[in-house]
Every structure is written in C-alpha cells, then in structure tokens.
C-alpha cells in the first residue's frame, strides 16, 4: 500500500459517505439510546449529529471502564513540581470521587441543563469537576483560573450558572494567585447572582467563605451521596467555552455530548496513535479547549492514562521538566504548544538536559496552538528523534481540522504545514469574493458545511451571532478566520490569522512567512512580525526578536543580519527593514503571541489589556522598545501597564 493511501481512503469516504462513516465510529461509544438520524440537516446551516441518540459522557469516560477491565488501571496522574506532589488515581478511584462530587453538586439544586462555572487551577479536582457536571447532565463552563474579575463576571452573566466550583488559589513559580477574592469580586459585579459556591481550600492559601453561599469542598463531598450518570441527548450541550469576541463580548462556544465523544474516541486512536492503557500527556491547561478535549475527555473515553501537569516547560525547576515527566510516567506521546518548545530551546539550545532522562517509550510529539515554525520543529526532531506532528485546530472545532494521522499511516512531513484535513473536513482556500483559489495561493481557509462531529453547533444563546461570525461571509462554508494555502498534494499550511495578512503597497504578504525566516537565524529563539501603519505603503512589517540564552553580540549587528535574511528569502517586496530585540513577547497563558495588541501599541492606538495575558508588564517593555523607532507615540492602555 502506498504511503498515505489508507488516510486518503478514510478521508474520501468521510466526505462521500459521512453518515455511514460516522455511524461506524460511533460504535466505540456506549449509548443508552441509539440515534434516529446520524446527521440532521433539517435546520441547516445548524447541523446536528446523532439526533435522537442518548448517552452520558462521564459514563463513557469512567463507569464503562470500571465495569470492564480497567477499574485498577491508572486513569489520571497528577504531577505538580510547584507543590512537589505526585498522585495517581485509578479508573475506580476517579469514578468514585466524581460520583461523590456530583452528589454534592446535585445537593445544591443543580440538574440536567443547569450551568456550572469551574474556576480552578491545574489540579485533579478540576478534572473531577468537569466529569461530575457531565455525570449530572449539567453544562460546565471552565474559566481559566486567575482570570480577571470583570471577565469572569461577563461569563457569569452570559451563562447564568447556579453554582461555581473554585479553589482558594492557583500557583505560579514563585507566587500564589488568590482566586477567591477575584471570584467574590466577579459575583459582586455580575447582574446574575450565583446561589452557591463550592471552594477547595488548598494548603498554600486559605480562602474566606461567605456564610450561606460558600461551602468547603472537602466537607461538601464528605456529606454527599454518590450520584449515578444521567442520560442526556447527543445534541444536548456538554459545555460552554468562551473565546474572546471582537466586540468585547465573549463568545460562548457550545459543545455537544454525542458528536464530541465520537470524534475524541476516533482521534485518540487514529490521529494520536495512542492505545487504551498507554500513558498520554497533554501539557495544556483545563481552561483551554485542548485541556477539555485531551487532558480530560479524550484520553479517558479512550481508556488511556492522562497526565495532569501543574508546572511550566522551564523554571519548574529547569528546561528538562518536560523530559522528566515523559521519562517518569513513560508517556508515549506529548501534545503541547510550539511556544513551550521555543522556551526550552531558548534555555537549553543544545538540549543537554535530555541526556539525564530515558525517553525510550516516547513515540510522537504533537504541536498545536501556534504555527509550528520549521526551525523549532527541526530542532525538536533532531533532539528527540521521533515524528513531530504540527496540527491545526480551534476552540470552535473541538479537535483537529488538519494533522498527520499516525494511527492510520503517517504521511511525509512537510515543514511549515499542518499536513492534511481530518475526516469530515473539506478544506478550501477562498479569495475575498469567496471564489476558490489555485494550489499554492494564500487566501482565507474555509471548510464546506457540514463540519464533522465534535465541532460547535452554535454559540450559547446566540444563533444569529454564530451565523454572522462564521457562516455569512462565505455561504455554505465555515470561515476559520485563518489564512494560508493548500498545495498540489492537499497539504494545508496555515500562515497567519486573516487579520495578520498585511497589505504592503498592494502586495498581500503573510507575517507568518516572515516569522519563519526570522526564526531560521541561528541566534533567534522566538519572534513575531506585525504590520504597522505607513503613509507611503499602507503597511510595513516590523519584527520583534527574542535571542537565545548566551548570545552576546550587538543588537544592531543581529538586526542587520535578519533584515538581510528576509530580503534574501522573500525579496524586496516584503519591505522588511526594521526589527527590535526584546527580552520576551507578550502572550496569552496558552502561548499565543498577542500580535494584535502589539500592532495597536506600535500604531499609537488605545488598546485594552487582554484578559488572557500571561504577564501585563511585558506590554510596557514592548512600548519602551518601540519608542526609539518612532512608534507608539500616543499608545495608551485601557487596562494598566
């Protein structure tokens, strides 16, 4: 069989016979009632998968494994270098803890369809909270622990929760983040009044509990009766996950139960190539979609062992942290963001710390969240000697749009590409009028409807906003908001957000392509390129560069070299003439570089400090670095720098 033949046959069938294909994949899931229709298109473009079917996602993640042969298999390994704690829960132990927590939640009047906000750090109880809500048929909405009070309040008002599950604090290297004061402030600010909170008191900080509203987690669970799984419709919501909206109002992405369980089970086996019983590590956070899909639900539905890591790629304690976790827990695969590997590469460019660990069980590294720039991918490939899979997906999609399907037959890797579309994804590149573009041309990446199971059916209480945000610009398509191209072999390359395609004197140029060139310089650890306003050309590119540890050459010398490099690789049309060396780049906590905010600063526009920013002080550093170049003259923050 030719390389990729198996993948191509599966993908083709998923497009020509979608109902038959996904009905077969649904056999991997326990259903309490079979579906009436695999794909319901009666209200298109609002499609629904497995209409009429009933199941419980927590049952599929826990109870069926306990009843089967996995009761004493590790389900969850908690590894926390920030608290020096390691703990393993078997499937039986995790099921029992979740059933008791579900009882405590139900005792506070929460039932099927009610909303619960989870505002917690990376601890086992956060995963238990998600599963306990799923057990009851309640709809959870995880808000990243430590999120600003006003952002939390906006989410409380949007989804009207009956209950908030929280913890007294989160832990960052060298500091404690007190969650409870932020939660109290958010509840005070919100128009919707939350009736109950259950708060886990962590030993690092004790929170004040409001009498009559707040309950101590340990006491509430101890007093509760275990609760059974409640069947829900396949089309009922499992969770709401908020993504930032351009209007400032958060968009509540809805995820259903049935299609999601089916897609996750398929992907664990065929995208990630992980077998039931093996150890899988997704180094994300439960606050992000990746954490929902591949720390919590995916690996547990599949019967694998999932690692929950409360730490960083560097600094807890060093740049060998990831190698330790893989080695110690015998993980066969890791899923993380390219930014994590850029951080490791910056601190340990030669990868010397890897020599201290045994990675003999490790098979594959998966990268997503930002484009896997070729220099980082090549560095990881050389260091680890295993396949590196860059794959592409979004909060809205719930799982991969494109990837290299190692459980089918791995395709040849093309550096800079996220490989080929997943089953059910019919990807096209469209111009501004919505016409398909030729192979290799950069345009808007869009997917023909319907999207496959596991993707979002709508936005919470906002069907019209769902339609206008994602479906209206290209009728019959889902607009991804990303720009890129598809080559003659069908490989997709995501270059940038559509907003990051800059117009230089009429030439549409990808900042992602320029970043790829900057990252190839031997002294560069990380970089970002933005378009800044220019009277003559409309926009011109401006580069930001973070150097590797130990580089001691003059900044001006390095800037001259990288400007020359872009001219050589892309050509004078790029008009790349300016770059600035900075100590670090502003990012969200999931590792996405805040290019839009940097652009506003450079163009002297007022900007709002993003709620998801990892460290607000970095924006001040960016501001200071731009002033000598004549930018950021009047930029002012609507937050605080």
| Whether 360 and 460 share a structural domain | yes
pLDDT band per the 50, 70, 90 thresholds, residue 79: very high
The verdict on residue 363 lying in a domain is: yes
- Taking the C-alpha atoms of residue 150 and residue 156, their distance in angstroms, rounded to an integer, is 10
Q: Determine contact, residues 292/241, Cβ cutoff 8 Å.
A: yes
| Whether 481 and 615 share a structural domain | no
**Predicted pLDDT at 570:** 75
Q: What is the CATH number of the domain that holds 347?
A: 3.40.50.12780
Please state the pTM of the whole predicted model. 0.85
Judge whether residue 641 has pLDDT over 60.
no
The verdict on residue 285 lying in a domain is: yes
The verdict on residue 491 lying in a domain is: no
Instruction: Outline where 532-578 has alpha helix (H).
Output: 555-569
Judge whether residue 200 has pLDDT over 90.
yes
| Whether 467 and 541 share a structural domain | no
| Whether 445 and 521 share a structural domain | no
The verdict on residue 581 lying in a domain is: yes
**Predicted pLDDT at 55:** 98
pLDDT band per the 50, 70, 90 thresholds, residue 145: confident
**Predicted pLDDT at 248:** 56
**Predicted pLDDT at 247:** 47
| Whether 396 and 311 share a structural domain | yes
Number of domains the chain is built from:
2
| Whether 11 and 116 share a structural domain | yes
Q: What is the CATH number of the domain that holds 519?
A: 3.30.300.30
Q: Residue 554 is encoded by which pair of tokens? A: 């003059």
| Whether 152 and 19 share a structural domain | yes
Range of the domain at 25: 5-414+427-485
Question: Out of 72-81, 128-137, 599-608, which region has the weakest mean confidence (pLDDT)?
Answer: 599-608
Strand 163-167, strand 402-403: pairing? unpaired
**Predicted pLDDT at 510:** 73
The verdict on residue 150 lying in a domain is: yes
The verdict on residue 575 lying in a domain is: yes
Within 8 A by CB and 6+ apart from 215, the residues are 104, 108, 196, 197, 198, 199, 209
The verdict on residue 492 lying in a domain is: no
pLDDT tens, residue by residue, 492-524: 999 877 766 676 765 667 787 788 889 999 999
**Predicted pLDDT at 571:** 67
| Whether 462 and 548 share a structural domain | no
| Whether 455 and 514 share a structural domain | no
Q: Which of 435, 451, 485 is the last residue of a domain?
A: 485
| Whether 525 and 463 share a structural domain | no
Q: Region 55-60: what's the mean pLDDT?
A: 98
Q: Which residue's structure tokens are 């089967």?
A: 68
Closest alpha carbon to 105 in 163, 156, 41, 184: 163
The verdict on residue 496 lying in a domain is: no
The percentage of the chain sitting over the pLDDT mark of 90, rounded to a whole number, equals: 75
pLDDT band per the 50, 70, 90 thresholds, residue 1: low
**Predicted pLDDT at 638:** 43
Strand 279-282, strand 578-581: pairing? unpaired
| Whether 167 and 296 share a structural domain | yes
| Whether 515 and 596 share a structural domain | yes
Q: Which of 454, 485, 516 is the last residue of a domain?
A: 485
């Amino acid at each position: 069989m030719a390389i990729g033949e198996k993948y191509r046959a599966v993908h083709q069938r998923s497009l020509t016979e979608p109902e038959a294909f996904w009905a077969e994949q649904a056999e991997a899931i326990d259903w309490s009632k079979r579906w009436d229709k695999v794909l319901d298109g009666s209200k298109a473009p609002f499609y629904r998968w497995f209409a009429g079917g009933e199941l419980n996602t927590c049952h599929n993640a826990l109870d069926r494994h306990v009843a089967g042969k996995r009761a004493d298999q590790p389900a969850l390994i908690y590894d926390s270098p920030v608290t020096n704690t390691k703990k393993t829960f078997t499937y039986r132990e995790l099921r029992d803890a979740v059933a008791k927590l579900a009882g405590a939640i139900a005792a506070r009047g929460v039932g099927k369809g009610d909303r619960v906000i989870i505002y917690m750090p990376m601890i086992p109880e956060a995963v238990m909270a998600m599963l306990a809500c799923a057990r009851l048929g309640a709809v959870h909405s995880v808000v990243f622990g430590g999120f600003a009070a006003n952002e939390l309040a906006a989410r409380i008002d949007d989804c009207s929760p009956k209950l908030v599950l929280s913890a007294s604090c989160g832990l960052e290297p060298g500091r404690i983040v007190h969650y409870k004061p932020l939660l109290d402030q958010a509840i005070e600010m919100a128009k919707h009044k939350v009736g109950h909170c259950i708060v886990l008191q962590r030993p690092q900080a004790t929170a004040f509990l409001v009498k009559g509203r707040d309950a101590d987690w340990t006491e509430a669970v101890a007093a509760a009766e275990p609760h059974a799984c409640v069947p829900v419709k396949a089309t009922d919501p499992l969770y709401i996950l908020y993504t930032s909206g351009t209007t400032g109002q958060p968009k509540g992405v809805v995820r259903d139960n049935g299609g999601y369980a089916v897609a996750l089970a398929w992907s664990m086996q065929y995208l990630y190539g992980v077998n039931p019983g093996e150890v899988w590590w997704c180094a994300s956070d439960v606050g992000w979609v990746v954490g929902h899909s591949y720390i919590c639900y995916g690996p547990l539905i599949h019967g694998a062992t999932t690692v929950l890591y409360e730490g960083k790629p560097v600094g807890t304690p060093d740049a060998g942290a990831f190698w330790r976790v893989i080695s110690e827990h015998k993980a066969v695969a890791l899923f993380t963001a390219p930014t994590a590997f850029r951080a490791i590469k910056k601190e340990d460019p030669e990868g010397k710390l890897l020599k201290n660990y045994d990675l003999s069980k490790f098979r594959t590294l998966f990268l997503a969240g930002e484009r896997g720039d070729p220099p980082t991918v090549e560095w990881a490939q050389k260091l680890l000697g295993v396949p590196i899979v860059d794959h592409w997906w979004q909060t809205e999609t719930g799982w991969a749009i494109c990837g290299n399907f190692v459980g089918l037959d791995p395709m040849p890797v093309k550096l800079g590409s996220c490989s080929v579309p997943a089953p059910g994804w019919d990807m096209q590149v469209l111009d501004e009028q919505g016409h398909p573009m030729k192979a290799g041309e950069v345009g808007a990446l869009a997917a023909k409807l319907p999207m496959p199971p596991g993707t979002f059916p709508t936005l919470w209480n906002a069907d019209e906003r769902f339609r206008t945000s994602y479906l209206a610009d290209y009728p019959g398509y889902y607009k991804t908001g990303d720009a890129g191209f598809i080559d003659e072999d069908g490989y997709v390359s995501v270059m940038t957000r559509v907003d990051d395609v800059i117009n230089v004197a009429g030439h549409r140029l990808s900042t992602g392509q320029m970043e790829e060139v900057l990252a190839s310089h031997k002294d560069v650890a990380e970089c970002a390129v933005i378009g800044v306003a220019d009277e003559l050309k409309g926009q011109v590119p401006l580069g930001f560069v973070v150097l590797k540890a130990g580089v001691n050459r003059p900044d001006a010398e390095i800037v001259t070299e990288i400007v020359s490099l872009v001219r050589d690789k892309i050509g004078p049309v790029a008009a790349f003439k300016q770059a600035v060396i900075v100590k670090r780049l502003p990012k969200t906590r999931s590792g996405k570089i805040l290019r839009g905010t940097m652009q506003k600063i450079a163009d002297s526009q007022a900007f709002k400090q993003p709620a998801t920013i990892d460290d607000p002080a970095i924006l001040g550093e960016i501001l200071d670095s731009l002033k000598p170049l004549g930018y950021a003259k009047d930029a002012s923050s609507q937050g605080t720098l």
